[in-house]
Structure 1
Amino acid sequence: MTDKAPSADKPSEALINDIKLLLQSGDFTKAESQLLDLVASGPDHEEVLYMLAVSQRYLKKHPLALQTLDTLKRLIPDHSRAYQETGHVYRAMHNPNAALNAYSRAVQINPALEASFKAQIEILSATGRAAVTGQLKQQLQTLQALPKPLIAVTDLLSQGKLVKAEQLCKAFMQKVPRHIEGMRLLADIGSRLGVLEDAEFLLESAIEFSPENIQVRIDYIQVLRKRQKNESALAQATILLAKDPKNPQFQSVFAVESMQSGDYDTALETF
């Protein structure tokens, strides 16, 4: 999903907003009817399909909702909210394992989906698997601690809407210039846009302000590698591994950077 020009076949914004109001007021039958008319009269449109699936779930037309979501996922394979909605449908059908799979895929694509984190924790706790919810709870707490503008930036990034994400992130950083996650997200946007020098500077600064931030250091290593600064990337990977020599992720990062630097023996020993 990326920034793209609006299609001439796209339903009018006024009509979409009218249908959203129907959903908000709980008139799912009328919303479904109007959405089905749109589906029948034009090409597949992501927002129409998504709202149709929501309507069908609330009307307890669960098989139809899943069919609609399958159509949406074929149209946009990385549509995170389609997977989240699939989780909601399976949960309503009392199929917790299928719901868990859908919610897990949703947050892999989009780590800003609070409802999917909460649903996984609730399902696991209700099915005797509360012991494995620790990481999910930590991820949820991290998400909830973020300022709302940065949650929105994360959401936009997951949709590939880089221009909007950059505008929102820069506006936030003008008010809070040393916010570590804000710096990391802005660097991520820069990296995706190919502005690697700016991304490197942001991450280098973020590490100076927060040297124990693991994700910032990993992102920094990745940008250094992209800029072919293999010696610097290996130095950062060495620092990372020293923090926890038995951590499989740190070992993997160190092995990759060793290999990039030509030290294949160390890389093979570490993998």
Structure 2
Amino acid sequence: MNIAAGTDADSDDRDALLQEARRLRSQQRIPDALAILARLQALHPGFSRQYQERGHCHILRQDAAAAIDALREAVRLNPTLPASWDMLEQLYRMLGDTAQAAKAAQHLASLRELPQEIVVANSLFVDGDLSPAEEVIREYLRKDGDNVGAVRLLARIRQECDALGEAEALLKSVLEQAPDYNAARLDYAMVLLQQQKHREAQQEAEHLLEHDPDNREYLKQYCAACVGLGDYEPVIDLYERLLVSPPLQVTEVADLRLWRANALKIIGRQQEAIADYRASLAARPDYAVVWFSLANLKTYRFTEDEIAHLRAAESRSATMQAMDRIYLCFALGKALEDRGKYASSWHYYERGNALRRAAGRYCPGVAESCALRLKQTFTAEFFAARAGWGADDPAPVFILGLPRSGSTLLEQILASHSSVEGTQELTEISRYAGELSGSDPDCGLPVHHEALQRLTAADARALGERFLAETRIYRRLGKPFFIDKMPNNFWHIGLIHLILPRATIIDVRREPMACCFGNLKQLFGTTNQEFAYGVEDIARHYRLYLDLMRHWDEALPGRVLRVQYEDVVEDIEGNVRRVLEHCGLPFESACLSFHETRRSVRTPSSEQVRQPIGREGLAQWQCYAAWLAPLRDALGDALTGYGA
């Protein structure tokens, strides 16, 4: 789900504003029409047809220069606007600019050579009108099913609808017919990347770069694939290379600086990361995601001037994309928390959560139904009948639980051992669960668990070996053990045990008020943690997590090691020895000085685990106790039963 893409209501509002501007223009009320278009631009800056309408208005005002500016922006956003190209050609000819007039005429002629359905569908697609675009292009493909351009467009529409598997299959078919269709190959790489198929995406980007090594879009795609694989060093240099190219739009400078800063942060070069974040803001001062990224360092302290800027930017909500306001709210929540202004901080955390929850599709009932079906499928009898199945390899170490539970701390501790490599939050297990059981479209959890009962011993072994093969690319150090720190794998403990019976599984658990509050004040970068944006949702999810973990303990006694975060803080050496013993590893003192270990850390705790362990996080939530009574009530007996 793309929460930044807008809702149907947003589209209706957008189209209503455009219609109103057109009505006002038809009445010769040009200033009023332009005022409506200014509002439309603030709300939907990427909507191409508003700029075309602005061009019409300026033509009526006999302002050729302003009309050209508006129409050029329209065709930049959407090259399939015949009316805009037509007006541009006429305006350029009127001004005597024959070269630009010829270019516009050429674009117009090219569009007229295409089937009208493709032009219409592409124009609708660019402006985010996915359903009508898909209807038009599917109708056309019934007549001309071999048109690779049309199939590619359908794939792009399905990609935007989050039907990534279908988009991948369509693009693969296009490349089989037209292997040199590089635009389709770039789309194919992007779809692979969205499905966490990072190595395949990287290979497609490498193929493109063989043909055009300086192509900026190919280089960006290659960088994105490298980031997915956890390979950050080349990315930092490549982004710098892209930044020195002549002249760039400020939006591209801001993006490149942001992406480079993110890579620098992950490998622990914090001061350089901050410098790039600031450079991004210098290019684009109200770039909300960058302000949030500074806050998400957890160690950055905003100045009073910066907080004032953030407040002013957030107050302009009527002219702001919903996701930008969410970023600003969470950044302000953290900035004010650091200054001890807890009432104001909570105000922004609460507002950001409400906005983020409204943008999502999380339904607690779906998750609870999934847990019930898991318990009905993965019984002690199920596992007894399948004893000895799976790949016989002890290398994987799964650290799981809820976000903000201390799992990154434990990962850093274990990754400081000479025999253990830390990788990242890998997505292979959840992908396998989806392949086997199907996925709920809103929360991604498996829906048909009975399919797992049809697996054979050979299937289980093959799936375990597939996991070991597909994760090998993340293991660069060649150590005997490696960590998969995907918190959501607590849903898939049954599958993990079935395909990797010798893998280590560790559940990191944190006191419920602290854990739930930690989630409420964290804006996550994906749609995996949709439960984290409401007091009732996070409380129900915590209780559900406890219930499912009790089931795994009953169905697989002793299989999962529980580590209590508070115990690690109070007695790090004792708990480190306990964890290492469970993993079958000798004690190493480097695990106690984990903060000195230099490695890439991608989670929100990246900077915290580069510091010695402290007690300050244990009762942090108590500063917000005045506003957390509903959370306490919703957690109920989980407050006392979480350790049982």
Whether contact under 8 Å (1:3, 1:160) holds in the other structure is no
CA offset at residue 121 of structure 1? 4.2
Q: Distance in 2 between matches of 1:108 and 1:192?
A: 20
Number of the residue aligned with 2:144: 176
Name the count of aligned residue pairs: 233
**Identity among equivalent pairs (%):** 31
Paired residue type of 2:139:
A
The partner residue of 1:155 within 105, 123, 142 is: 123
The partner residue of 1:244 within 189, 193, 212 is: 212
Whether contact under 8 Å (1:207, 1:217) holds in the other structure is yes
Further displaced range: 66-75 or 113-122 = 66-75
Number of the residue aligned with 1:20: none
Paired residue type of 1:152:
V
CA offset at residue 238 of structure 1? 1.0
Number of the residue aligned with 2:348: none
1:241-268 CA distances to partner (integer Å, 9 max, x unpaired)? 1112233333333333333333333333
Matched, 1:117 2:117: no
The partner residue of 1:165 within 129, 133, 140 is: 133
Whether contact under 8 Å (1:112, 1:155) holds in the other structure is yes
Further displaced range: 105-114 or 194-203 = 105-114
Number of the residue aligned with 1:220: 188
Number of the residue aligned with 1:197: 165
Q: Distance in 2 between matches of 1:170 and 1:242?
A: 34
Whether contact under 8 Å (1:255, 1:267) holds in the other structure is yes
Whether contact under 8 Å (1:53, 1:68) holds in the other structure is no
Whether contact under 8 Å (1:124, 1:133) holds in the other structure is yes
1:80-132 CA distances to partner (integer Å, 9 max, x unpaired)? 33321211222333333322221133234433311112333444555565556
Q: Distance in 2 between matches of 1:6 and 1:142?
A: 29
Q: Distance in 2 between matches of 1:263 and 1:137?
A: 46
The partner residue of 2:23 within 47, 52, 62 is: 52
Q: Distance in 1 between matches of 2:32 and 2:218?
A: 45
Whether contact under 8 Å (1:3, 1:163) holds in the other structure is no
Matched, 1:255 2:236: no
Whether contact under 8 Å (2:21, 2:33) holds in the other structure is no
More strand by share: 2
Q: 1:92 to 1:177 in 2, by over 3 A?
A: same
Paired residue type of 2:78:
N
Q: Distance in 2 between matches of 1:266 and 1:121?
A: 44
Number of the residue aligned with 2:33: 65
Whether contact under 8 Å (2:158, 2:164) holds in the other structure is yes
Q: Distance in 1 between matches of 2:49 and 2:236?
A: 40
Paired residue type of 1:54:
R
Q: Distance in 2 between matches of 1:5 and 1:85?
A: 19
Q: 1:169 to 1:48 in 2, by over 3 A?
A: closer
1:213-236 CA distances to partner (integer Å, 9 max, x unpaired)? 222111111101001111111111
The partner residue of 1:230 within 182, 190, 198 is: 198
3-state DSSP class of the match of 2:142? helix
3-state DSSP class of the match of 2:222? helix
Where do 5+ consecutive residues of structure 1 fail to align? 11-43
Q: Distance in 1 between matches of 2:235 and 2:120?
A: 38
Matched, 1:96 2:84: no
Q: Distance in 1 between matches of 2:204 and 2:22?
A: 46
3-state DSSP class of the match of 1:203? helix
Paired residue type of 1:101:
D
Write the mapping of 1:33-48 to structure 2, written as runs, cut at 5 A.
45-46=16-17, 48=19
1:40-83 CA distances to partner (integer Å, 9 max, x unpaired)? xxxx9436414313313xx4x43343234335556765543332
1:138-193 CA distances to partner (integer Å, 9 max, x unpaired)? 65454333211122212322343322222222221122112112111111111111
Q: Distance in 2 between matches of 1:107 and 1:228?
A: 33
Further displaced range: 118-127 or 246-255 = 118-127
Further displaced range: 65-74 or 222-231 = 65-74
Paired residue type of 1:53:
L
Whether contact under 8 Å (2:141, 2:147) holds in the other structure is yes
3-state DSSP class of the match of 1:228? coil
Q: 1:3 to 1:215 in 2, by over 3 A?
A: same
- TM-score between the two structures when normalised by the length of structure 2: 0.33
Whether contact under 8 Å (1:2, 1:161) holds in the other structure is no
Q: 1:152 to 1:97 in 2, by over 3 A?
A: same
Paired residue type of 1:181:
G
Q: 1:197 to 1:6 in 2, by over 3 A?
A: closer
More helix by share: 1
